[in-house]
Every structure is written in C-alpha cells, then in structure tokens.
A and B are shown apart, each in its own frame.
Chain A
C-alpha cells in the first residue's frame, strides 16, 4: 500500500516537472501562490516566532541559575535553538498544518467537482498546471519566511529577557554574536528548501488523488498534514546527520 502510494507520488511528480505549457500563465499562478501560500502566512509565523523566541529565552534563563555560568549563554542558547531547530523545522511543521490542509482541500475540491477533469480534457497537464506553481512558490519564498522567523525569534528573546530582567541586553547581544557560525543559516535554509518541497507536494498528492465527496476531501486534508509532518520529522533527522555530523 505504501509502495503503491510512493509509486503514484513519483508518477505525479514526473508530470509536475514537465515544461509549463504557457509560461505567462505559469508566472501568473506562481505569484498568486506566493501570496496564498507565503505572504498570507507571514502574520501568524511572525507572531509565533516572536513569542516562542521569548519563551526559549525565559526557559533557558530559568535553567541557568548557576552564578558561575555567564548570562550571555542565554542569548547563545536562544539563537542556536531558533536557527537550528525552531525556525526551519517547527515553523515548517506549522506551515504543513496551515498550508498543507489548504493545498489538499483546494486541489481535492477541484478533483471532486471535476475541475481537474476539465483541465485534462482541455489538453492541459493538470498536475503541472496546479502543483508546479505551488512547489516553486514554496521553495523560493519559504527561505525568506524562515529568515523572518529567525530574526523575530531572536528579537522576541531579547525583548523577553529585557522585560523580565532575566538577561541584560548587553549579555544577550554578546551571546547571540558569540561563536556565531554562518553555516547555521545555510543549514537552516537547506532544511527549509527540502521541507518546502514536501509541504507543497505531499498535500498536492493527497488532494489530487481524492475520490468521493466532501468527507474524503476532509480526510485527505488530515492525512496530508499528518504525512507531511512525519516526512519533515524523518528528513530533519536525516539532514541533521548529513549536514552536522
């Protein structure tokens, strides 16, 4: 059953990567998808990142009660947590929930209302027409979204540290610059691009292959979010092994 699904997913991806039939329409759809899948998520992602950054700082500060440990390590721990895991991985899982269910349900609804059949009988490669703009929008825009998340997470930590008095501003700023490794950003962006690929394509697969009615579209949305999240978690482990070991 799983092998069959992987086979169907691969065949769908072969169709997705065909050359767009009309480039002008592809770019129109691409910019529309950047708006739908990316720009509309900025608000929520910014809100979550800012507050989680604050929480990470507070929790780290609470666990560093030893007076012999320099307070700058609170800033250091915050930036490492946010850059290496929180922004690329957990924001991607949140996006899998928000965007994944949206993709699966819109494509699934198009399937059950015969809109995809309509594209096919017009001679249009429906998988390419519907999925490629989403995939390209996710892969090109999510790195920016994750960078916004990283910045706001660190900013949230700084604000929380100052407001609670748990870490002084100068210590926090010293900590985030201490032993700063630009590879952390590259690592986060590589993970983001891989996860963006799954966020766009796995829900598309579930939506594209829906059969039945509204109930099945709902089930496909749920399955899409579950399988995208599982795939992100598994690939997070694989990429961490490959890139950091």
Chain B
C-alpha cells in the first residue's frame, strides 16, 4: 500500500500540488485522473521521488520515503516498476537487453536464466520474436508492452504507469489496460495509473482519484463515477455526448 499525505509542490511561484492526500491499495489498479495540467504527472513523479516535494509524506507499506537514507531509497526503488509516457526504452539496446537490464544490475542470475525470464515476461505481455529488435523497429503499442515487460521483470511490489495509452489506437489501448490489470492481480502489485483516458477508467478503474488545479476533488471507483453528483467529475468524465448517454442509461438501469 502507498499512502500519500498532504503533498505540496510548487515551481517558482506556481503551486502545482496543494496538499494532496491519497491511499493506493495493494492488488488494485489505482487511477489518478484529471485534465492536462492538473498536476497528475508532478504528483506521480513526487511519489516516485523523481521530484522533491516541498512538504508531505509518502510511505510505501509503512516506509516513509523522506526518512530513508539514499542507499535504502535505491533499494526500495528496486521494488518499483515504472512505465513512462514515452516508454523510456534505451535506444541503443535491443528489446532483450532493455528487459534484461534491471536483472543485470540487481541480480546474480546467469545469462540463460535472464533470457528465460525475458521470454517469460514477453510472453505475459503477448510479444514473441522481438528479442533482437531495437525499440525504433517496433510499433508504439509493442514498445508500450516492452516497457511493461521491463517494469515487471523484477516482480515489483509497486507498478506506476504514466499515461499508458497515450498515442495508442483504442483497441491496443484496451489490450494494454487489460494487461496492466492482469499483471496487477498476478503479481499482487500496488498499481498506480496516471490517465485521462475514459475507456481506461471504465475498463479497469478499481480506485480513482480526480485531480484539478493541484487539489484532489473526488475519489471512488468506476461504478461510483456514474452515480456521483460531483460537478468537476461529471464535467471531466462526461464531457463527450457518448459518455453522457451511457450515464443516463446506467442511471435508468440502476447498475453499471
């Protein structure tokens, strides 16, 4: 479980995070939603320790990040897997080398063992025969899966995904969503997904928080999204006529 309490962060005169608190539960796909510029990425990067917040507490299963020494923080980071918005695959490495890299750095596995694990995670993300290709030689959807495979290769306790569907077609986006959901259940990870993709929210949003202008305005799950009267949530989620129609139908039927 990841607990965040009163996180504040500003850049020069602009306050980006204004005292956000949230709890991300283990074994669930926890979503952070909000418009562009709402502070989602800064929030996730602050939780990851990539940005130093001005104040606030982030704890990973009781371990308070700011109380840990640099070496313990590095060890804790080995328990995290991150899928970046732009995938962040190493250009000069093949797919196999990209996925193998965390194992080479932090484990004493032999080369055949590492290769076996690479093939295992590639199979889990439904990729085959790409081991010797370079990131530039595969599609965006495949790169996303490779990024996911690299993130889970060390059996992380915490999985962070920043806009995992950006730049993907709707069908591939749903496949990626379901993969993240399946992997969360399989590895029992605390998964935090940063998104503004409505399909993702409806597909796998087990726990959702809405951010706006650096504040947390709402929290709930995908079923509660349909019955909430929160104006900001409705304004954000049901901005398209299709989703407004879906909401009316759900209200009428009385269930999601």
Also in contact, A22 and B105, with CB within 8 A (given A117-B50, A121-B48, A123-B78): yes
Residue of B nearest to A123 (CB): B77
| Distance between Cα atoms of A117 and B78 in the complex (Å) | 14
The chain B residues found within 8 Å of chain A, CB to CB, are 45, 48-50, 73-78, 80, 82, 84-86, 88-91, 101-102, 104-106, 160
The 8 Å CB contact of A22, one of B77, B90, B104, is B104
**Ordered nearest first, which 8 A-B pairs have the shortest CB separation?**
A123-B77, A118-B88, A123-B74, A114-B88, A114-B84, A121-B82, A123-B78, A115-B88
* Interchain nearest-CB distance for A70 vs B (Å): 55
Max count, chain B CB within 10 A of own CB: residue among A21, A22, A117: A117
For A113, what are the chain B residues with a Cβ–Cβ distance below 8 Å? 86, 88, 91
Also in contact, A118 and B77, with CB within 8 A (given A22-B105, A123-B106, A124-B105): no
The chain A residues found within 8 Å of chain B, CB to CB, are 21-22, 25, 109, 113-115, 117-118, 120-125
| Distance between Cα atoms of A118 and B80 in the complex (Å) | 11
Residue of B nearest to A117 (CB): B50
Residue of B nearest to A122 (CB): B102
CB pair B48–A115 under 8 Å, yes or no, is no
CB pair A115–B90 under 8 Å, yes or no, is yes
Task: List 6 A–B pairs whose Cβ atoms lie within 8 Å, in order of A's numbering.
Answer: A25-B104, A25-B105, A113-B91, A115-B91, A122-B77, A124-B74
CB pair A121–B80 under 8 Å, yes or no, is yes
Q: A121-B50, A122-B101, A123-B106 are in contact. List 12 more A-B contacts (CB 8 A).
A: A21-B105, A114-B84, A115-B88, A117-B45, A118-B88, A121-B80, A121-B160, A122-B102, A123-B74, A123-B77, A123-B78, A124-B74
The 8 Å CB contact of B88, one of A25, A117, A123, is A117
Residue of A nearest to B80 (CB): A121
| Distance between Cα atoms of A115 and B86 in the complex (Å) | 9
CB pair B105–A114 under 8 Å, yes or no, is no
For B80, what are the chain A residues with a Cβ–Cβ distance below 8 Å? 121-122
| Distance between Cα atoms of A109 and B160 in the complex (Å) | 22
* Interchain nearest-CB distance for B178 vs A (Å): 24
For B48, what are the chain A residues with a Cβ–Cβ distance below 8 Å? 121
| Distance between Cα atoms of A123 and B48 in the complex (Å) | 11
Also in contact, A120 and B105, with CB within 8 A (given A114-B85, A115-B88): no
Also in contact, A122 and B78, with CB within 8 A (given A21-B105, A22-B105, A25-B104): yes
For A25, what are the chain B residues with a Cβ–Cβ distance below 8 Å? 104-105
* Interchain nearest-CB distance for A225 vs B (Å): 22
For B74, what are the chain A residues with a Cβ–Cβ distance below 8 Å? 123-125
| Distance between Cα atoms of A87 and B148 in the complex (Å) | 49
| Distance between Cα atoms of A124 and B45 in the complex (Å) | 16
* Interchain nearest-CB distance for B92 vs A (Å): 9
* Interchain nearest-CB distance for B164 vs A (Å): 14
| Distance between Cα atoms of A124 and B80 in the complex (Å) | 12
For A115, what are the chain B residues with a Cβ–Cβ distance below 8 Å? 88-91
